[in-house]
Amino acid sequence: MRRAFTAVILALGIVFAAPAFAQIDCKLGEVVIKFSHVVPPRGHPKGDFARMLAERVNTEMNGRACMQVFPFSQLYDDEKVMEALILGDVQLAAPSLSKLEVYTNKYRLFDLPFLFEDMDAVQRFTASEKGQELLGVMSDFGVVGLGYLFDGLKHFSADKPLLVPSDGAGLKFRVQNSDVAVAMIEAMGASAQKLAFKEVYGALQLGVVDGQENSWSNIFTSRFFEVQDGITETNHQLLAYVVFAPKEWLESLEPDLREQFLTIFRETLVKANGQAAKTSEENRQRIVDAGYTVRELTPEQRQQWSDVMRPVWGEFEDEIGKDLIDAAEAANVTKNN
Ligand code: LMR
C-alpha cells in the first residue's frame, strides 16, 4: 500500500522542496554562463566547484561575463541537462558519468564495480593519455569535455544492516541511469530502480526503494543517512563528473574572453579536485557525529562484495573495450606491485 501510494507521488513528479537559492542578476551586454547541477551549492565537491567558479568569473570578468549557478536540479535534472547543453540553453553541466549511457558506452568504464582501488588511481588514470581522450567522446553531440571533476567512491545504504552482499538480496536499490549499476545490483540478488537524484530522499523515506549507493558527500548533503538504517563503507564504485560546454558557444566567445574564462576554469577545477577528498571525509565524519551508523568492512567482507560484483565487467567489456579497462586497472598501485 505504502509503495503504491509513493509510486503515485513519484509518477506525479512531486519532489521534496530544496531551499530557495538567490540568483545573481546579469548586466546587459555580459556573456551569460549558466551552470545547472543537481546537488547543494555548498559542502559538496560539485556545488563547491560551481560556486567557486562563479565567484571568480563574477569578480574577475565583471562587465564581460556573468555566471549563474542553478543547484538542486532547480533548472534541469541530469537526464535533461545534456539536452539543454546540446541546445545551448545552459553553458556548463557536470552530470555524473553514469548518466551518459544514452550518448556513449565508453563512460561505462567508470561504473565498473571495484575497478579503482582509491581516488589516487582515478586521478592517475584520468590524467593519462587514455583518460584524457575520454574527455572528447561527446564531441559528436557538439559538446566539449573541459575536465574531470571528482566526488569520491560510493557506499551502500539500506533500511537494514548490510555487511555482505547477500544482506541486500531481495531489497530494491535506487541507482542512477546506468545499466552497469543495474547489473551490479542484480548480481547481489537485489532489484534496481533508476531514479533521478531529486527523487531519492523521498523514495527512501517512503519506502519506494529500500536502499541506495552514493558518495559520502551526496549521502550527507542530501541527508539520505536520515532515512536509512546505516551506511556500509564499500568503496565499490566511482562517482565522478565531466564538466561539459557546448562547442559552438565556446567558439563564439571573443578569444581573450575565452582564454580568461578557461584559465579561471582550469585553476578552479584543480582547486576543487584538490579539496574533494577532504570534503568527502568531513561529510563522512558529520554522519558519524550525528549519531548515525557507518559500518566498516573487514577485508574478507569487502572481498565478498568484489567477488559478487566484478563478474558484471564481462557483460560490458566488448562495448567499453578491453584495452581501456586494462589501462584503468593499471592505474591501481597494488595491481602493479
Ligand atoms: C546521483 O544521481 O546519485 C548523483 O549523480 C548525483 C550527483 O550529481 O552527484
Kindly give the number of the ligand 1 atom that is closest to the alpha carbon of 196.
2
pLDDT at 79: 84
Judge residue 5's burial from the number of C-beta atoms within 10 Å of its C-beta, 0-12 exposed, 13-18 middle, 19 or more buried.
exposed
Our mutation pick for probing the ligand 1 site, out of 79, 150, 176, counting the most ligand atoms within 8 A of Cβ, is 176
Our mutation pick for probing the ligand 1 site, out of 37, 38, 101, 154, counting the most ligand atoms within 8 A of Cβ, is 38
Those residues whose C-beta lies under 8 Å from the C-beta of residue 289, and which sit 6 or more positions away, are none
Distance CA 49, CA 58 (A): 14
Residue with the three cell numbers 549557478 = 69
For ligand 1, the distance from its centroid to the CA atom of residue 77, given in whole angstroms, is 10
pLDDT in tens, 37-86: 999 999 999 999 999 999 999 999 999 999 999 999 999 998 899 999 99
For ligand 1, the distance from its centroid to the CA atom of residue 73, given in whole angstroms, is 10
Kindly give the number of the ligand 1 atom that is closest to the alpha carbon of 99.
5
Residue nearest to atom 1 of ligand 1 (CA): 197
* Residue ranges lining ligand 1, Cβ < 6 Å: 38-39, 46, 96, 151, 176, 197, 214, 218, 239
pLDDT in tens, 200-215: 999 999 999 999 999 9
Our mutation pick for probing the ligand 1 site, out of 239, 243, 283, counting the most ligand atoms within 8 A of Cβ, is 239
pLDDT at 6: 38
pLDDT at 5: 35
Residue 79's identity, in one-letter code, is: E
| Regions in the chain scoring below 50 on pLDDT | 1-17
Helix (H/G/I), strand (E/B), else coil: 208: coil
Residue nearest to atom 5 of ligand 1 (CA): 96
User: Which domains does the chain show, CATH number per domain?
Assistant: 2-97+135-150+243-289 (3.40.190.170)
pLDDT at 21: 61
pLDDT at 334: 64
Our mutation pick for probing the ligand 1 site, out of 218, 220, 236, 237, counting the most ligand atoms within 8 A of Cβ, is 218
What predicted TM-score, i.e. pTM, was given to this entire model? 0.92
Residue 330's identity, in one-letter code, is: A
Kindly give the number of the ligand 1 atom that is closest to the alpha carbon of 218.
9
Distance CA 31, CA 62 (A): 10
pLDDT at 78: 86
Kindly give the number of the ligand 1 atom that is closest to the alpha carbon of 197.
2
Distance CA 283, CA 217 (A): 6
For ligand 1, the distance from its centroid to the CA atom of residue 189, given in whole angstroms, is 24
Distance CA 262, CA 270 (A): 12
pLDDT at 19: 56
pLDDT at 333: 83
pLDDT at 18: 52
Are 209 and 193 a contacting pair, CB within 8 Å? yes
pLDDT at 336: 54
Q: Report the candidate in 221, 262, 256 with the shortest Cα–Cα distance to residue 243.
A: 262
Kindly give the number of the ligand 1 atom that is closest to the alpha carbon of 212.
3
Pairing of strands 238-246, 143-158: antiparallel
